[in-house]
Structure 1
Amino acid sequence: MAQVVGRGLAIGEFRIDLGDERLLGPHGPVKLGNKAFQVLVALAERDGRLLTKDKLFESVWDGMAVSESALTTTVRELRNALGDPSRHPRYIESVYGRGYRLIASVRPWDGKDLPSVQPSRAAQPAPKPEKAKGAPPRVVMGDFKDEAVTDTHPHAGDAMREEVLLGLSRFREIQVIANAAGIKGGGDRDYQLDATLLPDGNDVKIVARVHRLGDGGVVWAETMKLDGSGLGAGIEKIVRQIVGAALPALDQDVSIGIGDAAGSIFDRYLVAKRHSVEAQTRAEAEDAARELEAIVAEQPGFALAYPPLVRLYNIDYGYTALGSTSPVERARALELAKAGLAADRSHVHAYTVLGFCHLYHGEFDQAHSSFEHALERNPFNPVRLNEVATGMRYLGDFTRSRELIEQSRDIQPFADDNSQEDLGHLYMLEGDCDAAGKCFAKVTVASIWTELYAAICAHHKSPSKGIKAVDKWRKRVVDQWHRPIPPSSEEIFEWFRFHHPYKDDAGAKLIEAVKDALGVE
């Protein structure tokens, strides 16, 4: 462990001020969240030695059960603050599947040696990787080697490979190549997926991975077990896990290195989509909406750009300006959703966003049909499964919603914030506030609705504590309201209902609970 002298530690051109709990860089204080700061301190104190993920969860998150995505998101925030690209790191090295280590030298800092206001040449941010080529990523289906299990499971590798190929072909964000002969060399967006089947007692262990063809870098790998007693059902489960887990990792890898001034339609879409999700203000969200509108105006057949634009219009510009969505925005969203589906009827996301548009317009039969079409076209995408599960809750089919949540969990075993909110919402609609509260307690970063649901659960358990929780949530709504005049309790309730389009009495229990908490007649 690096010995701390005086105020903190020095790492390259950065200083960790432990007393003031802040990071100082060449241009002064660096904006950094509390978890990211704690991770940096933990890495610095290891002084170049490996810090495992388990140790980070134990120390930074106090052993709380959170998804691994919470850690990767925090490390990504830290890399951005340090100007440290993951492909060419100067500070943080990823030790695949295990954890991280700090590769920059660490020394004690007495508070006197402040970073220069003007960074030296050596302190300039590392050059960004070569700009991506402006096209969707291509994925080559490699070999699924099964020589080690052919005696007990003949043809298992070929069967699994074909199923994975079929599953990947349903995603519109990638191009699937059946064999390596389809790609010469390897560019920034060329990947290969392969797997090896190995004996594991009476079962079979599958080691799958996705790597870049250009430099061989592994972007995803996982070990899964195939139960030997039921080969057919087992292969289907493994296929779902491979398809559902590999795509998010590949999508994240493609996004690395794309700046904010990308030129091609696809790159512009990636940047605008990222901005639409990460926007912190209405101005930022509106900028993303304008760029997406420009893309669909220039190229109406580019189906990928429609869903993130529909999302912004439907939900208060990504909930950056609460109450800003009106029937005008909802009408535009429905128009765009229909156009997006017409541009590509195999794009599953187009069906789910259209389903939500129909919900918001009270067109429940059309919504149900859209969600069913989404399931039919791609049952391998955990995000889309959760979206359909949400739709089924609004339609009052709680049993189907739970089945889809479980199906999604089979593909993506860890429970992230969204899945905890989904399950908690379902419990609330069923009237089980105790079970719902346990779900919300596991959420790392509460959305505007998670905080409301958790407050309602607290109000159900203890009215005095619940009132404080509801008041805290109400203040958050007022602070993020789209106009300076604070909304009344009645306006807040109507806004809640506007974003919760339940069919018939599907949301009766939750609606009454919100009414009671807000003091609305």
Structure 2
Amino acid sequence: MTTATADQVFRFGGFTLDLAMGTLRGVNEPLFLRPKAFALLSHLARNMGRVVPKSELMDVVWPGVYVTEDSLTQSVREIRKVLGDDMVRTVSKRGYMLAAEAEAAPEISTQPIVAVVRFRNESGDPADEAMVDGFAEDLINGVARFGTVTVLARNSSFSFASFGRAEWPQIRARIGADYLVEGSLRRQGENVVVAVSLVDIGTASQLWGDRFQSHGAGLFAIEREIVEQIVSRLVTRVANAGLQQAARKPETSLAAYELLLRGFAMLRDPAQTDQRAAEALFEAAVAKDPNYGLAYTYLALARSLDGEFGRASDAVLENARDLADKGLALSPDQPTGHRVQSLIRLYMRDHEAAEQHMRIALQLNPYDADSIEQMGMLLTMRGRPLEALTWLARGIRIDPLHPHWYQFDRALALYMMGEFKQAADALELATRPAPWIRTRLAACYAQMGEMEKARRQISLIEEGDPFSPLDYALRGVPFENQADAEHLAEGVRLALGETEAIPGKA
């Protein structure tokens, strides 16, 4: 649970606890605790997020000495006085917990640093201040879940408000942020309008801005939906800005994070013409930082991608699984690691493990559109296309500039539901009509009775290509149930002219 430059430094809630130096610092100044209180906080920090029994705390802080629980209570009270009442939580009849999320120490020239400043309350009602601050806090917590940007804690970023350009240079000088998220919230009855901007502080330029609004009942549910959309788009914009900067540098000078960004952009390219180059970039990121968990995760993804076409060998998938395991071992709280491991397990036909990893990924980060979309794809493979379409629609809503595979996965769910026209429309959006895409499209047209279109798609699969449309339908798509594979194969057989159309199916 801890994140530290060494195992002796813990950052949480705007505080830095250095066990080797014996120091505790706030945002701008050193803080003091007496030795027993410091020892107590140290043990809670080592077990961040875990409920530590009172007996364990007393054994660690007062070893071999009989003391009453009053000594423990006094030390907890002292810590709360310094850190705030909410930082150490009492769990009735069990013990205490340091109720904070560990913050990763920012690496110079690697992950960008983002500050979400206090939003403006444009309703004019002081009673709305708590809601406005809570909204900005939700953004801080949501963006931090991605793990690909460093987000400053409230204690740092809330020392500034969204008052305009004059303060931007000061924000960078004082708290070291590369990007600033600022905005406003206006509440009128049960209606809320939120304006958000992402600013590059170095150039004092706005990279992105948008307005979101809700109407009518269910205000707080709609607020959550707005936060979900903003968070996903913010992270995408920050990553794109970082990629533009990295693109101007020679590869030999790039940090591991920037190498990762370049490779990730290649994987999301609709043309996907240089998958091996993406793999090489992830390998370079691993070589530059052998402890970079996310680099192993994306290397595993790149090596397993042929699984989408049913071509990855068992040995390739086992290697990808091992790489993904290493990525998770190095970064256990990184949701992307579980998402990639889920995909690999799906290709290995371990559907139960695939769903388990996906649900962990969504628990760690419910804002990630890729994870939401992939859950939809997984549910299609498990024979639950109606449920899948709900997830897929949500992923597309959160990320309207979604990558190409969102529509391909949606098309397969629609096909399994018998919505062949909608499925064909989604597949026609493909800018890279690969053999497997043409196979699915041919099956849709054949099921609709449009045999000329179906046969044309089959004919466009290049002669001599080892790809077999029927083998792909039966064995290349990781369906859990053979009946689903047969349903896809039925359309392919019709397109190939290997069987007569079933009455009433056209």
Tell me by how many angstroms 1:436 deviates: 1.5
Tell me by how many angstroms 1:171 deviates: 0.8
Deviates more, 1:505-514 or 1:444-453: 444-453
Pick from 390, 395, 408: which aligns with 1:421? 408
Secondary structure (helix, strand or coil) at the match of 1:305 reads helix
1:510 aligns with 2:485: no
Tell me by how many angstroms 1:387 deviates: 1.5
Say if 1:329 and 1:144 are closer, same or farther in 2 by CA, change over 3 A: same
Question: 1:206: which partner in 2?
Answer: 194
Aligned length: 375
Instruction: State how 1:333-412 maps to structure 2 within 5 Å.
Output: 333-412=320-399
Question: In the TM superposition, what whole-angstrom CA distance separates every residue of 1:313-372 from its partner, at most 9, and x where no partner exists?
Answer: 21239x8xx776322211211111111111112111111111111111121211111111
| Residues 433 and 460, structure 1, Cα contact 8 Å, conserved in 2 | yes
Which runs of 5 or more structure 2 residues have no equivalent in the other structure? 1-106, 161-170, 500-506
Q: What RMSD in Å do the two structures reach over aligned CA positions?
A: 3.2
CA distance in 1 between counterparts of 2:316 and 2:493 reads 26
Question: 1:232: which partner in 2?
Answer: 220
Question: 1:247: which partner in 2?
Answer: 235
| Residues 207 and 223, structure 1, Cα contact 8 Å, conserved in 2 | yes
Say if 1:323 and 1:246 are closer, same or farther in 2 by CA, change over 3 A: same
1:308 aligns with 2:283: no
Instruction: State how 1:86-97 maps to structure 2 within 5 Å.
Output: none
Secondary structure (helix, strand or coil) at the match of 1:136 reads coil
CA distance in 1 between counterparts of 2:135 and 2:440 reads 41
Tell me by how many angstroms 1:457 deviates: 1.6
1:487 aligns with 2:466: yes
Question: 1:272: which partner in 2?
Answer: 263
CA distance in 2 between counterparts of 1:467 and 1:189 reads 57
- The one-letter code matched in structure 2 to 1:266 is Y
Say if 1:203 and 1:399 are closer, same or farther in 2 by CA, change over 3 A: same
Say if 1:347 and 1:459 are closer, same or farther in 2 by CA, change over 3 A: same
CA distance in 2 between counterparts of 1:375 and 1:288 reads 26
- The one-letter code matched in structure 1 to 2:488 is L
Question: 2:109: which partner in 1?
Answer: 134
Instruction: State how 1:5-404 maps to structure 2 within 5 Å.
Output: 134-150=109-125, 153=128, 155-178=130-153, 179-180=156-157, 184-185=172-173, 190-198=178-186, 203-227=191-215, 229-258=217-246, 259-261=249-251, 262-278=253-269, 284-297=274-287, 299-316=289-306, 325-404=312-391
Instruction: State how 1:436-451 maps to structure 2 within 5 Å.
Output: 436-443=423-430, 446=433, 448-451=435-438
- The one-letter code matched in structure 2 to 1:301 is N
- The one-letter code matched in structure 2 to 1:313 is R
Say if 1:502 and 1:189 are closer, same or farther in 2 by CA, change over 3 A: farther
Query: Which of these two proteins has the greater Rg computed from alpha carbons?
Result: 2
Say if 1:448 and 1:237 are closer, same or farther in 2 by CA, change over 3 A: farther
CA distance in 2 between counterparts of 1:435 and 1:279 reads 21
| Residues 417 and 445, structure 1, Cα contact 8 Å, conserved in 2 | no
CA distance in 2 between counterparts of 1:268 and 1:197 reads 37
User: Of the two structures, which has the highest relative contact order with CA contacts closer than 8 Å and spacing of 6 or more?
Assistant: 1
Instruction: Calculate the TM-score normalised by the size of structure 2.
Output: 0.66
CA distance in 1 between counterparts of 2:124 and 2:419 reads 47
Say if 1:144 and 1:450 are closer, same or farther in 2 by CA, change over 3 A: farther
Say if 1:512 and 1:279 are closer, same or farther in 2 by CA, change over 3 A: closer
Say if 1:279 and 1:303 are closer, same or farther in 2 by CA, change over 3 A: farther
| Residues 210 and 218, structure 1, Cα contact 8 Å, conserved in 2 | yes
Question: 1:86: which partner in 2?
Answer: none
| Residues 186 and 214, structure 1, Cα contact 8 Å, conserved in 2 | no
CA distance in 2 between counterparts of 1:324 and 1:419 reads 21
- The one-letter code matched in structure 2 to 1:364 is H
| Residues 189 and 212, structure 1, Cα contact 8 Å, conserved in 2 | no
Tell me by how many angstroms 1:170 deviates: 0.5
Secondary structure (helix, strand or coil) at the match of 2:173 reads coil
Say if 1:499 and 1:307 are closer, same or farther in 2 by CA, change over 3 A: farther
CA distance in 1 between counterparts of 2:318 and 2:280 reads 17
Question: In the TM superposition, what whole-angstrom CA distance separates every residue of 1:278-299 from its partner, at most 9, and x where no partner exists?
Answer: 59788x4334323423433553
Tell me by how many angstroms 1:498 deviates: 5.0
- The one-letter code matched in structure 1 to 2:368 is N
Secondary structure (helix, strand or coil) at the match of 1:256 reads helix
- The one-letter code matched in structure 1 to 2:312 is T
CA distance in 2 between counterparts of 1:289 and 1:409 reads 27
Tell me by how many angstroms 1:401 deviates: 1.3
| Residues 189 and 254, structure 1, Cα contact 8 Å, conserved in 2 | no
Tell me by how many angstroms 1:151 deviates: 6.3
CA distance in 2 between counterparts of 1:434 and 1:349 reads 33
Pick from 455, 478, 484: which aligns with 1:501? 478
Say if 1:152 and 1:415 are closer, same or farther in 2 by CA, change over 3 A: farther
Question: In the TM superposition, what whole-angstrom CA distance separates every residue of 1:458-516 from its partner, at most 9, and x where no partner exists?
Answer: 222211331112211x22xx5xxxxxx54274xx5334555411102344311332244
Tell me by how many angstroms 1:202 deviates: 5.9
Say if 1:278 and 1:442 are closer, same or farther in 2 by CA, change over 3 A: closer
CA distance in 2 between counterparts of 1:253 and 1:448 reads 34
| Residues 260 and 271, structure 1, Cα contact 8 Å, conserved in 2 | no
Secondary structure (helix, strand or coil) at the match of 2:119 reads strand
Secondary structure (helix, strand or coil) at the match of 1:219 reads strand
CA distance in 2 between counterparts of 1:215 and 1:488 reads 50
Secondary structure (helix, strand or coil) at the match of 1:338 reads helix
- The one-letter code matched in structure 1 to 2:419 is D
| Residues 194 and 211, structure 2, Cα contact 8 Å, conserved in 1 | yes
Question: In the TM superposition, what whole-angstrom CA distance separates every residue of 1:108-142 from its partner, at most 9, and x where no partner exists?
Answer: xxxxxxxxxxxxxxxxxxxxxxxx96310111011
